[in-house]
Chains A and B, each alone.
Chain A
Amino acid sequence: MAIFAPLSIGRSALLAHERAIATTGQNIANAETPGYRRQTTDFASQDRSQGFGVRVLGVEQAVDRFLEAQLLRQSSLSSGADTRRDTLDRVQELFPVDGPSVGGALDAFWGAAQRLADRPEDLAVRGDLLARAEELAARIRQASGGLARHQREVDDRLAGEVEEINSHLGAIAALNQEIVAAEAGGERANELRDQRDLALLELSEHLEIRATERANGAVDVQIESSGVSLVIGGDVQEMTVDVGSTNGIDGEPLSQLGVRLLSGAVIDVPGNPGGRVGSLLTLRDSDLVDLSADLDDFALAMRDAVNAVQTDAAATDLDGLVGTALFAGTGASDFTVTLSDPRGIAAAIGTNPGDNSNALALLDVREAPQGALNSATLSDYYSSLQSSAGSSARLAADQATVEAAAQSALQGRRDATSAVSLEEEFTDLIRFQRGFQAAAQLISVSDGLLEDLMGLVRG
């Protein structure tokens, strides 16, 4: 071996450790950087042909691709579940357990009907029944309006979601281009990849996506459920929000999500794309619509059952006239009381004004199974409606807890692989510092040897 060999070995060791210290420094600097994955410097020894010593094979990222894919999916599930929980938690407040509510107003209405049966000719009692009917109608409209407001709010949020999605898509496509350019030379663009993975993770909160990496390092993004492409290499197929053909509970059109293809054509997003957007769509098109339909059924059954008694051919009001309808409306949203004169309540059957037979018939509605409500009574139907809103909120909350725990566990496993441990880095720092010092020592010793040799020559 040549006398200069230790010198070149020392040099390679010095450079390798310097690189390792730089990597450790990068890890320490980015310990708290979101999406950053710890990097390790890979060393390899060199043989005689390579002149001995050590060389740096590369700087690798600690990453588990399988785990990353799971995390993307879990992030969609988790953010979707959170959105569902938050919305349904507020929706159930439209059906409160205590305090002013449709149920309370319904009970008060029957209470007033009971007093009407006791005192059919009492104008104050009749006036009270009308006031209770007004209160009930107002509560039903309020609950319906609340559902409509929630649906509109959910719909409005979709536009915001699409804006954020497009911003992420743009970032991913731009990073794709940078990564392809940077890696053309063979070196991995770790930091750019970290940024792109972070953007993918953020995107997955909005939609459930599938990310496929190409050989050149670019990533294609598709909507998992439908396979519609959103990012193709450096190109973006943006999502769009247009006025849709379906109307909301409030009668105004809801928005329609689409994807603008590279050709310029816009296609509707098929099915449920998952993530937060998927949850919002389910809430808008299913949960809120179902509750609203149930409330409509309740209002219509109330209208029909009460009006049937009130407008019975034999039933008469205080002036001996046949009664007219008490309630009107085509659903819960426009449910109103049409009768304004308390004398118009048909409490009697026949011409005797003191008769209460029809008021008793009205009270029978209270306990009567309603065909339109699957044979439930009005009260039971309302309490099952309330219970169903509560159950949905409860289920959504439980689901959100489960998904959050699953995400936390996955995040923990990801951190175990990819996150920076400062203790580890400090230990490495000491290790590489010692290595660097030893390499320097090697050079110093080699230098000493050379000096000795030169001394012999100088003799």
Chain B
Amino acid sequence: MIGRVTQSSMVRDFLGHVQSLQRRTAEAQEHVQTQRKILTPSDDPGGAARATRLRSENTDLNALHETVGFGLSVLGAQDGAIGEAQALLTRARELASQEANGLTSPALRAAAATEVEEIERAMITLANTTVGGRHIFGGLATGDAPFTSLDDPGFDATDPYGGPTDAFYVRTGEDGARTRLTTPGDQVFGDAILALENLRQTLIAGNDPAVELTGLEAAADSLGLERASVGARSRALADRGQDILGSIQTAREEIGEIEDVDLVEAILDLQRLQSALEATLVSGQTLQQSIVDYVRL
């Protein structure tokens, strides 16, 4: 408790209060104008660190989402190509069945051989499918096609694949989890190309193609298995994409909760401070009063 009240203490207290209120008003104004609670780390050091982490997580989630989109486009292209390959193989099996009953003429067998050759060429083209210049059955590498062409003198139906033997993985989880995008092409198309080549050679030789049906069945199984695997990975990746979108939303909301100002509260706060400032300034008018006004010396 201060015993004596003096002009200097009154003026100093008054100035101190006005300055403190003005500073707080300016801060409140800045919060309302920027609509943010945390403008510098010192506003809330813990919150700022959390927001920085969340923002970093958010950047990562967006990158992951981009990867998921890329992965889905690759798997989608694989699914389409394998679907077409399955159709080609079905046609080859029809031809083999037709030619296997022994009732056809050598001319028809020769024609069938020509059609099978076209099918084989189409199969190799599908196996060399690219998305954005990258071979989707060749480890997503660019450059030379992974499967040798039928016209290539070095073509060997038992080993037509010269691409990467490793699968291509992408990072799809914040924890470093990965998703396989490719299967080495020989595992997908190897059986089909060999079976078609065998069928073609049998037809050219004028032999009964019935023996080739087993190989064609096995090739169809290989394609079917791979397509199922592609489908499963596609679905898993699409789900992952949804999860990531959900996480992005959550992270954004959390950043908002940490950083964004509650506008109603901020405006009320500002009004309260302004009223307090006005009241203090009004009270300052009493500083002008003095005994001099009342006493005639």
Q: Which residues of A contact B (CB under 8 A)?
A: 31-32, 88-89, 92-93, 95-98, 103-104, 106-108, 110-111, 114-115, 117-119, 121, 350, 352-357, 360, 363-364, 366-367, 379-380, 382-384, 386-391, 393-394, 397, 408, 411-413, 415-417, 419-424, 426-427, 429-430, 433
Contact = CB atoms under 8 A, between A and B. Distances in A.
B134 interface: yes
Q: Which of B40, B290, B295 has the most CB of A within 10 A?
A: B40
A387 B2 contact: no
A426 B6 CA distance: 13
Interface stretch (B48-56, B98-106, B199-207, B211-219): B48-56
Interface of B: 2-9, 12-13, 16, 38-46, 48-49, 51-53, 55-56, 59-60, 62-64, 66-67, 70, 134-135, 138-143, 164, 166, 168-171, 174-176, 178, 259, 290-292, 295, 297
Nearest to A93: B40
Q: Which of A350, A354, A412, A430 has the most CB of B within 10 A?
A: A354
A355 B9 contact: no
Nearest to B9: A415
A106 B60 contact: no
B190 to A, nearest CB: 18
A386 B48 contact: yes
Contacts of A357: 166, 169
Interface SS majority for chain A = helix
A391 to B, nearest CB: 4
A408 B12 contact: yes
Given A354-B134, A390-B40, A422 B292 contact: yes
Contacts of A415: 2, 4, 6, 8-9, 12
A430 B295 contact: yes
B28 to A, nearest CB: 16
Contacts of A382: 52
Contact of B291 (A106, A107, A352, A422): A422
A97 B8 contact: no
Contacts of A350: 166
Given A389-B41, A413-B2, A356 B168 contact: yes
A85 to B, nearest CB: 10
A31 B138 CA distance: 93
A366 B4 CA distance: 65
A427 B297 CA distance: 10
A121 B138 CA distance: 13
Nearest to B11: A32
A388 B164 CA distance: 49
Contacts of A356: 168-170
A387 B60 contact: no
